[in-house]
Amino acid sequence: MYSYALLEAGCHYLIQEKEDSSIHLIQVGLETDYCVLVTRFADEETVEWKKKTDPIFDILELLSEDKIKDWQAIYNKDAYNYEEEDDE
């Protein structure tokens, strides 16, 4: 079992919080003495505080800069297409 204390600010991770949960892409934006500020990327971005002691079932991967650029191109394209559909 892992915890949020292992994650570094500024990095993107693929994690599974519970054994039966889906995989989430997160970015740690800020670290304090006891907490981390986490952005979770899904249909919508959510920002939440997590205690460093909060459990994580599995840290699947720390994404490289290249993978982040690839993901951002897809994520931003999807957001742009979604906005275009709303305007019609």
Tell me what pLDDT residue 72 has: 86
- Please give the pLDDT value at position 47: 97
Report which of 10, 65, 72 is spatially closest to residue 38, judged by C-alpha positions. 10
pLDDT exceeds 90 at position 59: yes
Three-class DSSP category at 26: strand
Segment among 7-11, 44-48, 61-65, 79-83 with least mean pLDDT? 79-83
Give, for 24, the enclosing helix (H) or strand (E).
strand 24-31
| One-letter identity of residue 80 | Y
**pLDDT > 60? residue 30:** yes
Which has more pLDDT, 35 or 84? 35
Residues forming beta bridges with residue 39, ordered by sequence position: 27, 47
**Cβ atoms of 10 and 28 closer than 8 Å:** yes
Residue 86, pLDDT > 90, answer no
**Tell me, what amino acid is at 78?**
D
Mean pLDDT for the chain?
88
Among 9, 25, 20, CA closest to 59:
25
